[in-house]
């Protein structure tokens, strides 16, 4: 297994990206704050939904200081349609930390980025690469699949060796474009099943394509009991009801929601309260509003 990529492979990827890379509104931004917003939005969310929401969010909160001083309820309302609402609170908290600890400027050091709420190793590396031009390789699901196939085919790689390979592959002159290119290849060509190897700029150097390794079949579930109804849906409906209420006003929420009985709904409300997404009225716990 050779975990290095020749310069010709890097050039082929960048030429492919220049010709066919996805055009997304946030990719035109060089503002570290704007990139931070896009990367947090992209966590667990389809890129098409991020593209549709990013510009409006940036118009509402154009700087990190504006976001930091905004009520959490306003941030949660602006986040509507993106799901996983805890990310909105984490972004809000990250903005406050940036103002309090870094003078309102998004820090460039990986260690500082990873200390921000909601920013893990991948997002920190994405910011370091895209916003600050550092030679670090963020590894998400798509990038992991591309690198494993190119470098190792079906041989095992540890997360440490994969991260080292990702960092080593980054060209010094275009780290941001390289990061975007690998993400695009993984999202559009190097798919989990039925990859379009004939269209891939890395085909000539890819161990997976060269060996003709079959795409591993997804294991069939055996003796798996049906999942119990989760609370993700009802949590989303609760937050949406509170978003629809006028800012600062209390909303009466008492009874079932959809197929979820009052006990399940109350449990979801309690979890949302503990996460800081909503507030209960002190005198009547049936009255709720978004966190302020």
Give the 3-state secondary structure percentages of the chain, helix then strand then coil, rounded to 5.
Answer: 55, 5, 40
3-state secondary structure of 287: strand
Give 267-272's long-range contacts (Cβ < 8 A, gap of 24+). 267/231, 268/231, 268/234, 268/235, 268/238, 269/238, 271/231, 271/235, 272/235, 272/238, 272/239
How far is it, in rounded angstroms, from Cα 181 to Cα 6? 16
Contact 176, 27 (CB under 8 A): no
How far is it, in rounded angstroms, from Cα 134 to Cα 148? 22
Active-site entry in 8, 39, 155, 273 = 39
59 catalytic, yes or no?
no
Strand-pairing partners, residue 289, are 279
Sheet holding 278-280, edge to edge: 251-252, 287-290, 278-280
Contact 246, 237 (CB under 8 A): no
The residues that are catalytic are 39
């Amino acid at each position: 297994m050779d975990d290095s990529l020749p310069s010709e492979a890097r050039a082929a990827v960048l030429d492919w990206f220049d010709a066919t890379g996805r055009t997304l509104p946030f990719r035109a931004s060089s503002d570290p704050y704007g990139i931070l917003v896009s990367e947090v939005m992209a966590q667990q969310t389809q890129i098409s939904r991020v593209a549709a929401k990013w510009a409006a969010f940036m118009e509402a909160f154009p700087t990190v200081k504006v976001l930091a001083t905004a009520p959490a309820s306003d941030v949660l309302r602006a986040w509507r349609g993106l799901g996983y609402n805890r990310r909105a609170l984490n972004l809000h908290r990250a903005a406050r930390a940036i103002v309090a600890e870094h003078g309102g400027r998004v820090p460039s050091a990986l260690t500082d980025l990873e200390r921000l709420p909601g920013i893990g190793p991948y997002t920190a590396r994405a910011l370091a690469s895209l916003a600050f031009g550092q030679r670090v390789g963020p590894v998400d699901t798509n990038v992991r699949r591309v690198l494993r196939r190119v470098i190792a085919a079906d041989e095992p790689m540890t997360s440490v060796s994969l991260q080292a390979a990702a960092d080593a592959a980054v060209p010094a002159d275009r780290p941001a474009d390289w990061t975007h290119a690998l993400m695009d290849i993984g999202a559009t060509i190097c798919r989990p099943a039925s990859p379009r190897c004939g269209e891939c700029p890395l085909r000539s150097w890819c161990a997976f394509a060269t060996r003709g390794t079959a795409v591993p079949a997804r294991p069939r579930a055996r003796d798996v009991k049906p999942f119990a109804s989760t609370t993700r849906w009802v949590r989303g409906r609760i937050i949406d009801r509170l978003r629809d209420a006028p800012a600062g006003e209390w909303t009466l929420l008492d009874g079932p929601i959809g197929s979820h009985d009052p006990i399940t709904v109350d449990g979801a409300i309690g979890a949302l309260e503990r996460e800081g997404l909503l507030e209960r009225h002190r005198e009547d716990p049936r009255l709720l509003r978004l966190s302020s």
